Amino acid sequence: MFHKEGFKIIINTFLICAALALFAEYRIDHFWMQKAVQLLSVIILILVLQFFRNPKRKTIPNEKKIISPVDGKVVVIEEVFEKEFFKDKRLQVSIFMSPMNVHVTRYAISGSVVFSKYHPGKYLVAWHPKSSELNERTTVVVENKSVGQILYRQIAGAVARRIVNYAKVGDQAVQGADAGFIKFGSRVDLFLPLDTKVNVEKGQVVKGGEECIAEV
């Protein structure tokens, strides 16, 4: 199953790779060169297909638990001052996604979307400390009665060139549901209440839509 954001790219890649393979078959006489070009076209197609995969995840709704919004590695767990929305101290949990990870962004909690904003910006590597403030990004805040308000920020990386955000103010977010997509490498920051109990460690690999990363 593939994400809808990848349909156009998948089709275009397939056509280019098919044309490349046919060109090699009929225009390149050297046998090993011909096979090398054909193999390369297959590898490129497989890489694009795996990037846009959208596996089904079984989310068990729980108002007191915060699930991972993405697949990836936890790279930051620290208390910070959140400048954009809360303007006070929050617990930041950041998850880095390599180009090999599933790049679907899912809602970490159910609730009402109370803030959603897009910011144009730079394309520093996603693990750079300033990427959360300087890179192209979107900021979304979801609120429910049990957790309160949590903020998640989709951040473009050095390779990522497009962030897709479906969250709009007034929407009712459903925990584990599709909230957006970041194309080709990225990072997601979560800003949680200070009294939140974090269930993951720095360096841990997490699974979006299923794994509980924190709870109240």
**Per-domain residue ranges for the chain?**
4-51, 65-215
Q: Residues of 151-176 as b/e, b for ≥16 C-beta within 10 angstroms? A: bbbbbbbbebeebbbbbeeebebebb
Give the pLDDT score at 101.
87
Amino acid in position 169: V
Strands 212-215 and 137-144: unpaired
Level-2 CATH architecture, domain 65-215: Distorted Sandwich (2.70)
41 is catalytic: no
Contacts of 161 (CB under 8 A, 6+ apart): 123, 183, 184
Give the pLDDT score at 5.
82
Give the pLDDT score at 1.
80
d(CA 13, CA 179): 25
Residues of the chain below pLDDT 70: 122-134, 157-161, 184-185
Per-residue pLDDT tens digits for 32-71: 999 999 999 999 999 888 878 888 899 999 999 999 999 9
Task: Check 110, 131, 132, 186 and give the catalytic one.
Answer: 186
Give the pLDDT score at 133.
67
- For CA atoms 5, 60, 78, 192, the dihedral sign is positive
